[in-house]
């Protein structure tokens, strides 16, 4: 089956710890994205990557980091510098940058206490 996988589905961490969220796609898509979703709000872009070894900051990149060493993988690290890390994190991919639909993974719900 082609698609996007994210793991884990639920993640619990203590304040002050860095945590890495996994995102893998087998759709052969060039572009990948990380969004954050908070209750009652739309999706906000954290980082995106248009091609391997390249990525750009989105609207709310502070406290987050990413890497894109392989086309299939785009992991997101939530660092201890992120002030309100508890949220639902969604990874997406598309064929490229352009008017293409985005395909989403199932999401990771991160709770930091």
Residues that bind other proteins (CB under 8 A): 40-45, 48, 50, 56, 58, 90, 97-107
Question: Which residue number, 69 or 96, has a Cβ lying nearer to other proteins?
Answer: 96
Instruction: Return the half-sphere exposure (C-beta side, CA atoms, 13 A cut-off) of residue 75.
Output: 13
Question: Which residue number, 81 or 106, has a Cβ lying nearer to other proteins?
Answer: 106
Report d(CA 110, CA 25) in Å as an integer. Answer: 20
Q: How far is the CB of 59 from other proteins (least distance, A)?
A: 8
Question: Which residue number, 11 or 45, has a Cβ lying nearer to other proteins?
Answer: 45
Report d(CA 9, CA 76) in Å as an integer. Answer: 14
């Amino acid at each position: 089956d082609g698609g996007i996988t994210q793991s884990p589905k639920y993640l619990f961490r203590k304040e002050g710890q860095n945590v890495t969220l996994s995102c893998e796609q087998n759709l052969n898509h060039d572009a990948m994205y990380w969004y954050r979703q908070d209750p009652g709000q739309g999706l906000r872009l954290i980082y995106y990557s248009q091609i391997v070894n390249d990525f750009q900051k989105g609207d709310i990149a502070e406290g987050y980091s990413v890497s894109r060493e392989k086309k299939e993988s785009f992991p997101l690290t939530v660092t201890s510098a992120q002030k309100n890390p508890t949220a639902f994190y969604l990874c997406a991919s598309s064929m490229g940058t352009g008017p293409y639909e985005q395909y989403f993974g199932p999401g990771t719900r991160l709770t930091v206490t």
